[in-house]
A and B are shown apart, each in its own frame.
Chain A
Amino acid sequence: MNKIYEILTELRPEFDYKQSKDFIADGLLDSFDIVSLVVELEEKFNVTIDALDIVPENFGSAEAISKVIQKNGESV
């Protein structure tokens, strides 16, 4: 999970993701951030995230992101 927080912080260093329960509702990730995050996650976890999994609700928390990575073939 720490690896996910590291990637998020690298993406938007101005936010503290550990303090948020919903990254989308709190404005910590916009749709372009999600695209950037997908590319980073694919590279760092060596997975290919299915296009249909790239929806905001799958990127609202570190737990949700972890589930997407696992669903697409990698344990976090």
Chain B
Amino acid sequence: MKTVFRKKKITGILGVLPETEVRFEDEIPNYNFPEKQTMRLKKIMGFEKHRVVKDTTASSDLCVSGLNYLLEKKLIHKYEIGAILVVTTTPDHFIPHVSNIIHGKCDLNNDVICIDINQGCAGFLHGLMQAFMLLEHLGDKKVVLFNTDTLSKKVSRKDRNSYPLIGDAAAVTVVENDSDAKDIYLNMYNDGKRREALIIPAGGSRLPSSSETAVVKDSDDDGNLRSLDNLKMDGSEVFTFVQTEVPPLIEETLKLADQDKELIDWFLFHQPNKFMLKKLAEKLEVPYEKIPMNIVENFGNPSGASIPINIVHNLGSLVMINKYNCCLSAFGSGLTWGAMTIELGGMDFCEMLISDC
């Protein structure tokens, strides 16, 4: 799908991180691999430290913490909110929806629309797409988009393929109509035939969780221990997917938006690991400095919250003062890949909150 959104803008972004930070080196004994071999990955992949929630924290808790902060600081008012949109792969429950949990806990008005979307690493672009469409019907009200995932609960701690890179986080993004905003171009693709490259086999209606699905074993004979209740990622297939699909996607999106690659200030991408981003930069012939790659090493890969966390960590308050010509891109489960050109600037807020929830 290729489209353009007119007169829409991002008003502000709040990143929400759990306070618990775990160092990669402390987890090495969990993995069934030689320490030297694992340590080599630290620099190459950017495995340094990552954030994980407490056992008692659910995905909605990070969102409630974030929205309450914005309300307390008067960075948004309840009467301004027309809809809340939650993108997550790790809902608190199947029912009720995470958006309704946030709605209730933050005591929002009854005419606020609540929507949940099940989407992974491409969740920020999916969320913005839905938010911009909702704004067509909300007049002067705003949409609050939450990207939240607590994948540490779904990834085996003995799976070196996935556990070192996951990072629990949420992002609260406020969007609104703005007659002065520049056009926003979006380009999205999906390939459901490759859906099993990233899969949590059990826990849904296909294969409900049971004592059998919880058995941890080395089912692929590759040294990684996981159960059917855990996320399974085919790292090689995902790498090839990203390197094959994303470069032409970016070129096509820039052409759609009639923008020169050289005039893009920032390429703000989803961040699975540093190696993958370096190879993307080489393929795109974009200087490393224009593609921030430091999210995994500082926080882990925050799934759908990756791009907003990237914006907050690397641009922060600069997007309140300046305006930047940006190209966003996200890719992941589905398989789904997308890109967006958008001017980021003049935001009311762009900051990080460390939550003790």
Contacts and interface: CB of A to CB of B under 8 A. Distances in A.
B235 A51 contact: no
A35 B244 contact: no
Interface residues of A, number: 18
Contacts of B235: 31-32
Given A39-B44, A55-B236, A56-B236, A33 B243 contact: no
Contacts, number: 48
Interface in A24-76: 30-36, 39, 48, 50-52, 54-56
B139 interface: no
A52 B282 contact: no
B245 to A, nearest CB: 11
B37 A55 contact: no
B329 to A, nearest CB: 15
B160 A55 contact: no
A72 to B, nearest CB: 11
Contacts of A3: none
A2 B148 CA distance: 49
B189 interface: no
Interface in A1-19: 11-12, 14
B37 A33 contact: yes
B279 A36 contact: no
B280 interface: yes
Q: Give the interface SS of chain B, mostly helix, strand, loop or mixed.
A: helix
B40 interface: yes
B22 interface: no
Interface residues of B, number: 21
Interface in B226-241: 235-236, 239-240
B282 A51 contact: yes
A50 B222 CA distance: 26
A75 to B, nearest CB: 21
B223 A51 contact: no
Contact of A35 (B45, B160, B222): B45
A30 B222 contact: yes
B243 A52 contact: yes
Nearest to A54: B239
A65 to B, nearest CB: 16
A36 B239 contact: no
Contacts of B279: 51, 54
Interface string B289-315: 000000000000000000000000000
Contacts of A32: 37, 41, 45, 160-161, 235
A50 B279 CA distance: 8
Given A54-B279, A56-B236, A35 B243 contact: no
Contacts of B5: none
B204 interface: no
Interface in B159-218: 160-161
B96 interface: no
B324 interface: no
A51 B280 CA distance: 8
B44 A36 contact: yes
A31 B236 contact: yes
A29 to B, nearest CB: 11
Interface string B42-60: 0011000000000000000
Interface of A: 11-12, 14, 30-36, 39, 48, 50-52, 54-56
17 contacts: A30-B222, A31-B235, A31-B239, A32-B41, A32-B45, A32-B160, A32-B161, A39-B275, A50-B283, A51-B239, A51-B282, A51-B283, A52-B243, A52-B244, A54-B243, A55-B236, A56-B236
The 3 A-B pairs with the shortest beta carbon distances in the complex, nearest first, are A51-B243, A51-B279, A31-B235
Given A12-B37, A32-B161, A51-B280, 7 more contacts: A31-B236, A32-B45, A32-B235, A33-B37, A54-B243, A55-B240, A56-B236
